[in-house]
Amino acid sequence: SQQGEEDPQALSIQEGENATMNCSYKTSINNLQWYRQNSGRGLVHLILIRSNEREKHSGRLRVTLDTSKKSSSLLITASRAADTASYFCATDAQGTASKLTFGTGTRLQVTL
């Protein structure tokens, strides 16, 4: 079963706009990770945030984590057409990169 849900399920924006995706989860975690998947192929790791961190940045990505609400958000600034993909959050309860529990994903479409 999935750990949680991502919101929205689908998002369509224009190039240059910001995209925000939200993730909720159910159990205590060691860290939360975001992955990107293009056209149903392999997952690409984007960013990892530990349970004692509240915010993390990597290039155009900004991730927040609120463990009291069991939620996280991924912000992509100045979106590009190449950002078109599905985005998944995954929780790691043990910190061992084992048994990641994924959300249902957000499909992002960035149009020119």
Partner 1 sequence: DAGVTQSPTHLIKTRGQQVTLRCSPKSGHDTVSWYQQALGQGPQFIFQYYEEEERQRGNFPDRFSGHQFPNYSSELNVNALLLGDSALYLCASSLAAVFGRSNTFGSGTRLTVV
Residue numbers at the binding site for partner 1 (CB under 8 A)? 1-2, 30-31, 33, 35, 40-45, 48, 50, 88, 90, 92, 95-105
Q: Please, which residue, 59 or 112, has the CB nearer to partner 1?
A: 59
Nearest-angstrom CA–CA distance, 104 and 82:
21
List CB contacts of 111: < 8 A, sequence separation 6 or more: 12, 13, 14, 15, 81
Q: Please, which residue, 15 or 47, has the CB nearer to partner 1?
A: 47
Q: Please, which residue, 43 or 75, has the CB nearer to partner 1?
A: 43
Strand partners, 47: 34
